Amino acid sequence: GAGVSQTPSNKVTEKGKYVELRCDPISGHTALYWYRQSLGQGPEFLIYFQGTGAADDSGLPNDRFFAVRPEGSVSTLKIQRTERGDSAVYLCASSPTGAGGTDTQYFGPGTRLTVL
């Protein structure tokens, strides 16, 4: 079956612009996560959705970052007024339930964001 897909695979933008990154999770997975991976670092948690609701957004670095999952499937990560420090690979993962903390997360290939 299809895995997690993310679009675009690469995004180059200018400082101050707005960007949207899309994630299509595995069908039927209720849990969806966004992570950010800077060069030479491990992924860092941004936000967790359970269904349509953001159950934990404690990893969002500031109010320029926002994410939605309106129908409980596709999610969009939105970044306003981008800064050069936002340059990173943004990873999306989904898991069947998320509950209990033991589910395997299935990761997409990521979107590489470059802010010039």
Binding site for other proteins (CB under 8 A): 3-4, 31, 33, 35, 40-45, 48, 50, 55-56, 59, 91, 93, 95, 98-110
Alpha-carbon distance of 4 to 94, in angstroms, equals 7
End-to-end CA, the chain: 37
- Which is closer to other proteins, CB of 6 or CB of 73? 6
- Which is closer to other proteins, CB of 45 or CB of 66? 45
- Within 8 A by CB and 6+ apart from 32, the residues are 23, 25, 48, 49, 69, 75, 92, 93, 94
Q: How far is the CB of 103 from other proteins (least distance, A)?
A: 6
- Which is closer to other proteins, CB of 55 or CB of 116? 55
